[in-house]
Amino acid sequence: MPQIPKRIFEQMFVKVESAVCKTTAFVEVWDSKGSSTGNASVWALDLTLQQGWGARMLGDRDEKIVVGHYVSREFSKPKDPMTVEIKDRSVRRNSEWNKVVIPRLFPCPAHWRQACTFVL
């Protein structure tokens, strides 16, 4: 990751704010139907809504951050899930700051590796 001068880095955080917000858009990743393990399901945040009409109006000014999957004890969507949203209030649309701030605030885990891929 490139080094960012301290004064520029401080300016970014004046213009960009974060919020924890409720979300309802999910896509099912896995469920235990047909197995003897009980009722459980795993859900991922559905980011396709970020590319909808709001994205055409706001560009990438507001972005939801995927911080992991959500687990439900039943086959229904998770109840009261929260996610992190980064908002650039210095522009009306198409943030330049989000591309820099998000990797700094939410870097990939150091020892992360993908164990498998599901094709649905």
Listing DSSP states for 18-75 in one string gives EEEEE---EEEEEE-TTSSS-S-EEEEE-GGGGGSHHHHHHTTSEEEE----EEESSS
Tens of pLDDT along 11-44? Answer: 766 777 888 888 888 889 888 888 777 888 999 8
Q: Give the whole-angstrom CA distance, residue 77 versus residue 75.
A: 7
Rama region for 88: left / alpha / beta (φ>0; ψ in -120 to 50; rest) = beta
Tens of pLDDT along 63-89? Answer: 888 778 888 888 888 888 888 888 887
Q: What is the reported pLDDT for 72?
A: 86
